Amino acid sequence: MNDDRDGGRRARGVQRLGAQRLGGRRAGAQRRDARRQDALRQGASAAPGEAAGGARTVRLTKVYGSGDMAVRALDEVSVVFPAGRFTAIMGPSGAGKSTLMHCVAGLEDATSGSVYVGDEELGALSDRRLTRLRRERIGFVFQAFNLLPTLTARDNIVLPMTLAGTRPDGEWFDTVVRVLRLGERLSHRPSELSGGQQQRVALARALVTRPHIVFADEPTGNLDSRTGAEVLGLLRGAVDDLGQTVAMVTHDPVAAGHADAVVFLADGRVVDVMDAPTPDRVLDRMHGLGGRS
C-alpha cells in the first residue's frame, strides 16, 4: 500500500474511530460505500483498507502425525477472508477451526496447498520474513488474552512493535486507547485489570499495528454478555470504520451474527458459507452439522 493511501486511511480511520461511529451492519455498509466512492474520486482502484490485506487458502491440507496416528485436520480447504470484511469460522469441536486459523496466521505449516496473506504466499517466505509478517501484518485476539503479567497495559499494547524495533503512531495509539477506554489503565498490570479490561488491552494490541488481518479466537468466550457485546461491537467497528479485516473463531451464534459471513467447517472441510448471518440461521445450520453450537 502506498504511503499516501495509507496516510489517508489513517486520517479517515482516526476521524471515524475517534468519533466513535461504531454502528450496525447497515450503517457499516453505507460507510463502506462512501469510502469506495471517496477512493474512486481520488483515483484509487479500491477503498482504503481494501487494496491490501485479506487472506485466503487454496486447497489447504493439514495432517498431524503419520501412519495410523495421522489426523487430517484440514482437507483441501479453499476459503477467502475478504479484505475489509468480518468473517466468522464455526463448526463442531474438532472440525479444524483452530488449525485453519493457525495455518493462515503462519503459526503452523501447511502439509500441502497454499496460504496467502495479502499478496504474500506464506510457504514461499523464509522463517525471518514469516516472523516479520506475523508481527506486522497479523493481529491476534486470544480467549486467554495472552498478556504478559510483568508488563503494564501500555507496554503490552505496543509489544509487537517493541519486538519489531518500531514505534507506534502516537495519534493512532491515542485513538485506539481512547475508543477502548483504556486511558486511565495504561500503567496498570494485567492482574490489576478486570477480564473485560484485559480483553480490551488484547484488542488494542491487535489493532495498534494496523494489520492485514486480525484473528480473534473465541474473543467473547470468557466475558459476561455485556462486555462480550462490546468487544463484538469494537471488532465490527474496526471493520466498518477502518477497513480492518477480521476473522473470528466462535461457537456462539450471537457472536457470529455480528460477522458479514460465516464459514462452516466439519471434519476439516468447508461445508457451507453463509452471508449476512443471523443468530437463528446460524443456530439452525449448526444443528444440521451436529456437535456443540
Query: Minimum CB separation from ligand ATP for residue 215, in Å?
Result: 12
Q: Which is nearer to ligand ATP, 64 or 284 (CB)?
A: 64
Long-range contacts of the stretch 159-162 (C-beta < 8 A, 24+): 159/205, 160/135, 160/136, 160/205, 160/208, 160/209, 161/208, 161/209
Report which DSSP code applies to 101. Answer: H
Question: Residue 163, exposed/middle/buried by CB under 10 A (0-12, 13-18, 19+)?
Answer: exposed
10 Å CB burial of residue 21 (0-12, 13-18, 19+) is: middle
Q: Does 64 help bind ligand ATP (rule: CB under 6 A)?
A: yes
Rounded distance, CA 20 to CA 86, Å? 18
Q: How far is the CB of 218 from ligand ATP (least distance, A)?
A: 8
String marking each residue 77-106 x if it binds ligand ATP according to CB under 6 A: --------------x-xxxxxxx-------
CB of 96 to ligand ATP, least distance (A): 4
User: What is the nearest approach in angstroms of ligand ATP to the Cβ of residue 41?
Assistant: 43
Contact yes or no for 263/89 (Cβ under 8 A): yes
Stretch that binds ligand ATP, among 63-71, 113-121, 136-144, 168-176 (CB under 6 A): 63-71
Q: Binders of ligand ATP among 240-279, rule CB under 6 A?
A: none
Total binding residues toward ligand ATP, as defined by CB under 6 A: 12
DSSP state of 165: T
Among 7, 65, 195, 288, binds ligand ATP (CB under 6 A): 65
Q: Using alpha carbons, list the distances in angstroms from residue 88 to 73, 227, 274.
A: 18, 19, 10
CB of 268 to ligand ATP, least distance (A): 7
- Longest Cα separation, the chain: 59
Within positions 132 to 191, which residues make up the interface with ligand ATP, using CB under 6 A? none
Which residues lie near ligand ATP (CB under 6 A)? 64-65, 71, 73, 91, 93-99
